[in-house]
Amino acid sequence: MKRSKKLQLAIMGTAPFVLSGCTDSAREALVYKDVASCISDGVISDSVCRYEYNKAWQNHLMMAPKYNAASDCQQDFGTTCQQLASGEYIPTMEGFMLAAEPGSSRSSFTVIPLYLGSGGFFRTGNYDRVGSSYQQGKVIVDKKATAKPSLTKPSIKSTTMKRGGFGSRSAARGSWGG
């Protein structure tokens, strides 16, 4: 066969959306197994449920705990582990958690993908327990479980003396394809 068997997209096709007016204590969070359970809970709107679920999915692809061996992944998460193109294994996303970002001028959620650990408990990628998969909706969780997981080395904070030094020729043309 001269073509790929399976392809997917991770981030394209989800429209950006700015959320407003949500204040929640840092230790309160919303936990759902999927978009449908988020919508039926009625706390946040359908479109926000969908948007946040998509964001969780993107975060999952970037931040899921990675294992070199399938057996190590299964030991922690029991459920089916998937293999990435890189050869590493990650658990399957089984739910998502929304926690309000405190002190943010533009209130928005921190979205954390959830996995199933032993005993049917939801776990974050850092293996913090955040409630049972049988309960959906508002849960009280340890503050550290709502911390945004950091995926990459933070780049070096610098200062900027000038911007706009690239792009001046862009106004003069259409697209680059050729």
Partner 1 sequence: MLRITSAPRKDWTRLAESLGFKFHTIGGEAYWDETAYYQFSMKQVEQDIEDPTAEIHQMCLHLVDKAVNSEQLMERLRIPRFFWDYVRHSWLRRDSHLYGRMDFSYDGQSPAKFYEYNADTPTSLYESAFFQWLWLEQMVEEQKLPPEIDQFNIIQEMLIEALVLLKKQKMAGELLYFSCSQDSEEDYGTVEYFRDCAVQAGLGTQFIYTEDIGISPEGQFTDLEDRTIPGMFKLYPWEFMFEEAFGSYLPGSDTLFFEPPWKAILSNKAILPILWQEFKGHPNLLPCYFEDEKPGDDLGSHYVKKPVFSREGANIAVMDNGKTTVNVDGPYVDSGYVLQKYQPLPVFAGNHTLIGSWVIADRPAGIGIREDNSVITRDSSRFVPHVIRE
Round to whole Å and give the CA distance between 34 and 4. Answer: 29
- Which residue number, 71 or 168, has a Cβ lying nearer to partner 1? 168
Nearer CB in complex with partner 1: 23/170:
170
Q: Find the shortest distance in angstroms from Cβ 116 to partner 1.
A: 22
Q: Closer to partner 1 at the Cβ: 13 or 21? A: 13
Contacts with partner 1, 156-175, as mask; x by CB under 8 A: xxxxxxxxxxxxxxxxxxxx
What length is written for the chain? Answer: 178
Question: Residue 15 or 134: which CB sits closer to partner 1?
Answer: 15
Shortest Å, Cβ 95 to partner 1: 20
Burial 94-119 (b: 16+ CB within 10 A, else e): bbbbbbbbeeeeebbbbbbbbbbbee
Question: Do 126 and 104 form a contact (C-beta atoms < 8 A)?
Answer: no
CB atoms within 10 A of CB 89: 21
Shortest Å, Cβ 110 to partner 1: 17
CA dist 109 and 102 (Å) reads 9
> Shortest gap between Cβ of 86 and partner 1 (angstroms)?
4
Contacting residue, 33, 37, 58, 121, with partner 1 by CB under 8 A = 58
| 18 contacts partner 1 (rule: CB under 8 A) | no
Of 10 and 140, which CB lies nearer to partner 1 in the complex structure?
10
- The minimum distance between CB 73 and partner 1, in angstroms, equals 15
Nearest to 111 by CA among 10, 29, 170, 22: 29
Structure tokens at 145: 């479980």
- The residues that bridge with 111 in the sheet, in sequence order, are 98
**Given the rule CB under 8 A, which residues bind partner 1?**
1-4, 7-13, 58, 61-62, 66, 84-88, 151-178
